[in-house]
Chains A and B, each alone.
Chain A
Amino acid sequence: MKLPVNLLIGAVLVALVLGAAALSLLWTPHDFTQLNVRNKFAAPDATYWLGTDQLGRDLVSQLTAGARNSMAVALAAVLLGGSIGTALGLLAAAIGGWVEDLVMRIADIGFAFPALLFAIMLAAVFGPSLTNAVLAIAFINIPVFARVARAAANQVWTREYVAAARAAGLNRFAISKDHILPNIAAPVIVQATIEFAVAILAEAALSYLGLGAQPPSPTWGRMLSEAQTLMYQAPQLAVYPGLCIVAAVMGFGLLGDGLRDVTDPRLVRER
């Protein structure tokens, strides 16, 4: 089978971003918190590959450390929101009846909140911090995963091997764990990849508003926000973090699309 183009482009972009983030854990060209005001707005050279920002900090180091921050928030938020949402979706499909209705209606209410606005509200109530940004983004992920997991699980519940498992005397929770979950993994993973892109954007938006990770730890969103008043004299300070956000969001978005194309049996048949 030929791999779709979007999967390839997505995988390359994601690999680049994840690679930069992972590398920054071990090594950055300079200490990203190191100020050197007397060397602000330096032009790119052999020492500072992309130059320095308004406080003389190395831009490459800031951007890679920002990637780490962005990935950490997105990963934690999607894992947390995804596991709770998937568990709820599995539960709804397994029990059915009023429990299913209740879970899905609550998920509908969750969808009714504009996601980012809700995240801003949480951050405003509980104070701006990295943890709260993670929680806020995780929270808006729960209904998404609940819906996807439940729809996929309902399909699997109609299969013969599930009927066989029931006949063998397994209870609903054991079936959910042993038979349903492995069989809904593909759509959930596809959704997780797409939600990863959404989470990166949400983190950028929150930290742009000052509600994400607090200084001195760098975030793309805050770099963008601080560059705003500098557009006249140093537009590159806004361009680089902007490009990073675009690359990360597009990478995960394309990767998710590509994965869906590969795993979704209906699309395979159409091809």
Chain B
Amino acid sequence: MTTRSLSAIAALGMALFAAAAQAETKLVIGLQQEPTSLDPTSDATASIDGMLTQNVYESLTTVAPTGDVLPQLAESWTVSDNGLTYTFKLAQGVKYHDGTDFDSADVLFAFNRAMAEGSTNPSKGYFKPIASVEAPDAQTVVITLKKKDAFFLFNMAQGDASIVAEESVDGNATTPIGTGPFKYDSWTRGDRLTLVKNPDWRGASGVQLDKVEFRFIADPAAAAAAIMSDEIDAYPGFGAPEMLPQFEADPRFSVNVGSTEGEVILAMNNSKPPFDNIEVRRAVSTAIDREEIIEGAMYGVAVPIGSFYPPHGSAYVDLTGAYPHDAAKAKAMFEAAGVAGTTMTLRVPPFAYATRSAEIIQAELAEAGIDAKVENVEWGFWLDEVYKKKNYDMTIIAHTSPNDMGNFARGPDYFYGYNDPKMTALWDSISTEADDAKRAELLKEGQKYLSDQAVHGFLFQLPQISIIKTNVKGFWQSSPVLFQPLAGITVE
């Protein structure tokens, strides 16, 4: 045998080895909620952010699991001494997935669109403190605030502040175009959404996953079957806590119960009788029994809340005792308010935490003399009728956005139908207070006020129940935000 043929064999062997090493790494993630649009800058559905924010779309900043703000499209920034002027230096050579260049003009466009009159951005409040956005050159953006905003850099990391391009923005609802580590590949409605790795991303060498597939399986029993049969590698928001012992006993999975920013509330339409009457809302708060709801719907895997602030937050005050459960007292309160014996609808979205809580709340309200009719509706219907048109009496929903007490300062157009100048002023001072201790005091005041006004029935903090194969590493165990960056996830 000649040396030439030997080297040819060696080359062949190398090629085979290389091919094996390049075998595609694919991750399948199960999700409870399928969105109806893929544009996080115009739709409030949390799973849009869960799939696409910081994966397909990027924002100026991003956050770590600890909540610390990190650079993203903005490589660095400086803040003026008065805390009002932010100068961002943008990353160089960044391209959108459709090949167009990213520069300060895109940032200008994205911000002007979100701040525009009649903007459909679901978190318009993030942009309210901004006085002006300027682009002195292609790599620099200067944002000037009207007043200090303690959450500004954190807010700018969210999907609502994704830097979308003028060229592609109109198609983002169905074919999202961003600058992130993954490109949108396909979406089969009712079934799955696929992303593929973006080889041109600035940190692409550190990304292991070649393909990510999201499967939409809302029914926990079906989801459990899919996990058990190895169809799904990770289900980060699992809805059936009663099955945890089963997964814990299985060496293929690691099970974790972490926290989310999701306050689960029994929302009442404050703009509509009878819930415009504070006594009726207080009666509802008295009728519900949180311990029973958590035990029955969540199998004890949740922390009760008495107001609208997560129990793991630093400014938390325990207000769960504000309206002790007392069916007889609630009944008397409903009678005094003249609503005893009436029928109300409880429209619930198709998530296990909501439908299960609804069944228990229905029984608790019945005990207090209120006939609540439970309507289980599809997510698209819920978004349209409940969230957009405010056509509901009561609903159950988890508000998974961080720092979202500002929901109560969104005025009568928000689906709460809650309009209280005192709360609006309070949120104003919370969001402009730069001093941590003072802000915490204000946040406590806000929690107490919301509890006192019994704006909604405050139920529990949504746990982050994740079932992940043991060979998959890098999922966040607790979520300070709606998104889950996939660039750092590895499969062994």
Contacts and interface: CB of A to CB of B under 8 A. Distances in A.
Contacts of A232: 243, 245-246
Interface in B53-69: none
Contact of A229 (B221, B292, B364, B376): B221
Interface residues of B, number: 19
A146 B366 CA distance: 45
B296 to A, nearest CB: 4
Nearest to B243: A229
Q: Which of A35, A38, A54, A214 has the most CB of B within 10 A?
A: A35
B29 interface: no
Interface string B25-46: 0000000000000000000000
Given A35-B360, A128-B376, A229 B296 contact: no
A247 interface: no
A216 B362 contact: yes
Nearest to A128: B376
Interface residues of A, number: 20
B360 A37 contact: yes
Contact of A33 (B242, B243, B363): B363
A33 B295 contact: no
B220 A229 contact: yes
Contact of A215 (B224, B245, B246, B374): B374
Given A35-B363, A128-B376, A216-B359, A233 B245 contact: yes
B295 A37 contact: yes
B374 A35 contact: no
A70 interface: no
Contacts of A55: 296, 359-360
Contacts of B245: 232-233
Contacts of B220: 229
B240 interface: yes
A37 B292 contact: yes
B355 to A, nearest CB: 9
Interface in A201-254: 210, 214-216, 225, 228-230, 232-233
Interface string B253-296: 00000000000000000000000000000000000000010011
Contact of A38 (B246, B295, B376): B295
A172 interface: no
A84 to B, nearest CB: 30
Interface in B104-126: none
A59 to B, nearest CB: 16
Interface string A23-64: 000000000011101101000000000000011100000000
Interface of B: 220-221, 224, 240, 242-243, 245-246, 292, 295-296, 359-360, 362-364, 366, 374, 376
Interface of A: 33-35, 37-38, 40, 54-56, 128, 210, 214-216, 225, 228-230, 232-233
Given A37-B292, A215-B374, 19 more contacts: A35-B296, A35-B363, A37-B295, A37-B296, A37-B360, A38-B292, A40-B296, A54-B242, A55-B296, A55-B359, A56-B296, A214-B374, A215-B359, A216-B359, A229-B221, A229-B224, A229-B240, A230-B242, A233-B242
24 contacts: A33-B363, A33-B366, A35-B292, A35-B296, A35-B363, A35-B364, A37-B292, A37-B295, A54-B296, A55-B296, A55-B359, A56-B296, A128-B376, A214-B374, A216-B359, A216-B362, A216-B363, A225-B221, A228-B221, A229-B224, A229-B243, A230-B242, A232-B243, A233-B242
